[in-house]
Amino acid sequence: MESMKQELESSTTLSEDPAGQIAHSRSERRAKPRTWEIPPAPAPAPHLDDYKSIVGEPVVEELRFLARGLAKKTLKMVNSTAVGGGVAEMLNRLVPLLAELDVTTHWDVITGGNDFFEVTKAFHNALHGAPYELTREAQEIFLTYNEQNRQRMQFNEDIVVIHDPQPAAMIGARKDTSAQWVWRCHIDLSNPHPQVWGFLRPFIEQYNAAIFSSQTFARQLPIPQYLFYPCIDPLSEKNKKLDDSFVQKVCDEFGIDRSRPIVTQVSRFDRLKDPVGVVQAFKLARKYADCQLVLAGGGASDDPEGAIVLKEVKEAVGNDPDVIILDLPPWCALEINALQSASTIVVQKSLREGFGLTVTEALWKGKPTIGGAVGGIPNQIIHKLTGMLVHSIEGCAYQIRYLLTHPEFATQLGRNGREHVKENFLMTTNVRRWLLLLQILLRGGKA
Ligand code: UDP
């Protein structure tokens, strides 16, 4: 007994934890977690045949069949960053898979100074509904960098796909090409800032087509619009099947007790992800059903607002030993995977959301999932069929309690959720959509 007490007293405290992964005082009673000071080397990219074991041979053969008519066609993707963020992550997988299908795909990244990225960040927030004063100077900065990038790039491909607003004005290069130009919008345009949208809209209207991530994100436009859901890669570190021994090791390191139900939310510490609401819902639900809460997030240490939200979360938690808060570095895909895999229930109680890839990840792992009925979450969670949609803290608490006390129903939800992802939100489905769209565009837009 005495030796155990000494061990507990001598184990990691928050101040000794160099990476600060465990943000809660409960870490004082845990073994010291591994630290990830250096990001691990990326895993090698999978090949098409590797997906057969997941989606079945016919799906992969169908991709080969659809690509036949596209042999020797070329495609250019243009976006604003090669690393970080969902778009770059998706392109990193999509481009080699298209190349394997003989659709030569060039990926160019625009460059710009801080002034450009400040303007485009402000545009991004404004298009999500934030207040903003669009100045003439901001417009000039935007147009000048778009023009510089236009001059720097060659456009010899059959199809050019411009991702998001940052490079949208590069459509100016279209007149010198015979290519079909597509605007792929990954952001929620359902309630855009009128001035910023009014400025961008004339550029968007010059494209041959636009692609949105959800029906609700689209705008009225005089060009054809297509719906492409975002996707996850089932072979990535975040989503591949893990050995249970690894899941156990991660839980041990973070002091998570797998013999008791685990409710998890994985999200940046951002008010719109409502982590404080999750804590409140958990506290209500736990009065009726034993469980622990894991809140895993990242970026709070280098994002001043994230640090404030993390502080608010800790205040809401108080000294509750059943809540484990983890502030993880960005390269912890395997650990996030392990936490999701270990969970009994996954929650994404967002108040506003883009598509909500954490929901896709949880459904893919067959987890009964509770999500706020916002953004792209209702595309993924069909209430009572592939998960549970909620509109309030009390609603979330009720569903946590319900799922914990109805395990057979919860298991069935998880199974349905995984099928829904397999059908609609995997990388292979995304490749299929691209191949079909390329066929349509190369026939002059006639399906
Ligand atoms: N994520 C992560 N570490 C964290 C928090 C989130 O790797 O600490 C990942 C999460 O697994 C998901 C993505 O970041 O893949 C978040 O995407 P989502 O669409 O859910 O939300 P966003 O942060 O883009 O608003």
- What pLDDT is attached to residue 298? 84
CB 350 within 8 A of CB 377: yes
- State whether the beta carbon of 266 lies less than 6 angstroms from ligand 1: yes
- State whether the beta carbon of 188 lies less than 6 angstroms from ligand 1: no
To test the ligand 1 pocket, which listed residue (268, 270, 374, 377) has its Cβ within 8 A of the most ligand atoms?
268
- What pLDDT is attached to residue 38? 66
pTM: 0.87
Distance CA 64, CA 102 (A): 9
Whose C-alpha lies nearest to ligand 1, atom 17?
357
- What pLDDT is attached to residue 84? 74
Give pLDDT tens digits along the chain (447 positions). Answer: 333 333 333 332 233 343 445 554 444 444 445 545 566 777 788 999 999 999 999 999 999 999 998 988 999 999 998 887 788 889 999 999 999 999 999 999 999 999 999 999 999 989 988 999 999 999 999 999 999 999 999 999 999 999 999 999 999 999 989 999 999 999 889 899 999 999 999 999 999 999 999 998 999 999 999 999 999 999 999 999 999 999 999 999 999 999 999 999 999 999 989 999 999 999 999 999 999 999 999 877 767 888 999 999 999 999 999 999 999 988 899 999 999 999 999 999 999 888 999 999 999 999 999 999 998 999 999 999 999 999 999 999 999 999 999 999 999 999 999 999 999 999 999 999 999 999 999 987 655
Which residues, other chains included, contact 6 with Cβ-Cβ below 8 Å and sequence gap of 6+? none
- What pLDDT is attached to residue 7? 34
- What pLDDT is attached to residue 257? 98
CB 273 within 8 A of CB 242: no
* Residue that is written with structure tokens 């608010």 in the block: 312
- What pLDDT is attached to residue 304? 80
- ∠ CA 135-140-146, nearest 5°, is 130
- State whether the beta carbon of 354 lies less than 6 angstroms from ligand 1: yes
Give the number of the atom of ligand 1 that is nearest the alpha carbon of residue 272: 25
User: Ligand 1 mean position to 26 CA, how many Å?
Assistant: 24
